[in-house]
Structure 1
Amino acid sequence: MSAARFLVVLDADSTLIRNEVIELLADEAGRGAEVAAATEAAMRGEVDFATSLRTRVAALAGVPTASFERVIARIEPTPGVRELIAGVHERGGRVGVVSGGFHEILDAIAPALGVDVWRANRLETADGTLTGKVDGEIVDGAAKVVALREWAAASAVPRTATIAIGDGANDLPMLAAAGLGLAFNAKPTVRANADLVIGPVDLREVLPLLP
């Protein structure tokens, strides 16, 4: 990547987009309610994220990969996301998204919204269906920090010129590692530990904070 003036890194689910993708996938298996409850506990920080993700992905076993298109069709971008990304680019910045969600969905959503770089988990498949396992290393809180630092280094952006935006407990390490950590649409533990809290669920609220 070429140099940039600054870097903004967002979480995906409930930040870049309004949805929790794993819940949409679970709907395809008729297990939406149980997975939603487990996701809520993980985002509040009540359970280890990686352990929780493996349990929730196990509930997706047997879901056909053809369901990805139905899930993508249900995705709702967060209000103001396009304006925020355009504003970052106009000011010479770069936008990254790092997600505990899944590449299979983010690979369609991120470029459509103008995101420059993104990283997420991958779902293991066999014979056109999900196996119920994650393929490769899990993108958890620690991995989000790694992504932020790698992308900043690749764009010659100092830590002080990085902004991280997230809602769940697994975003806290990334918010702490960034020059400015913003709680957005966030759980109480995140609001309590972020540098700033964005109240309205509208990403245009971030524009005045850009360098």
Structure 2
Amino acid sequence: MNIDIEKLHKTADNHHSATMAVIDWIIGRNYKPIVSPIIVKKAEQVFLIIDGSNNEKPKEVDSFDAYITLASFSLELKLKLLLAIENEFKKGHNLSSLYDNLSNDSKIYIQNKVDEITQTSEKYNEISKKINDDLGIKFSWNVKDLISNSSNAFNKWRYHFEVNSNADLTWFAGYSELQKAIDSRIAQLQPIS
């Protein structure tokens, strides 16, 4: 498949900008959390975790569908861009499938970068503990786990209004950390001239 990498890069960046605007709308103007919002849906309740000091508060699902669909699609586009740079472009919305097709070097790089990001602040440990203890979810900043657990978010959350869409547990986490790590790998492989 012939892909215009520059156009894909611009499209991915535009979706990231739109995602950041939605985050600003959800959280409040000019509030810049260390971590992007983590959304957990358990049956009918939806929890927003902004940082480890905030108590999760049930919110309406409608408040978050735009963020999750934009953020997951933005990650999808960045993974597709990285795959195109590696000459392995793939179609589909499943983040795990896209991630699994990355080179081992890219997977290692992305995990190392996420580790570097999440070890810069104690907030990341507080958030992990809060999610594990308060919500009973096994959570870590492992890239494969973040992507796996958020893999079908685009499909699940854009149709959250369908009957029985609340039947399972779903969560979306690690957007900004994954975005920064993937962007860093893209810049490493395709430096701006």
Determine if the TM-score, normalized by the shorter chain, exceeds 0.5.
Answer: no
Output the TM-score relative to the length of structure 1.
0.28
Q: Greater strand share, 1 or 2? A: 1
Q: Greater helix share, 1 or 2? A: 2
Output the TM-score relative to the length of structure 2.
0.30
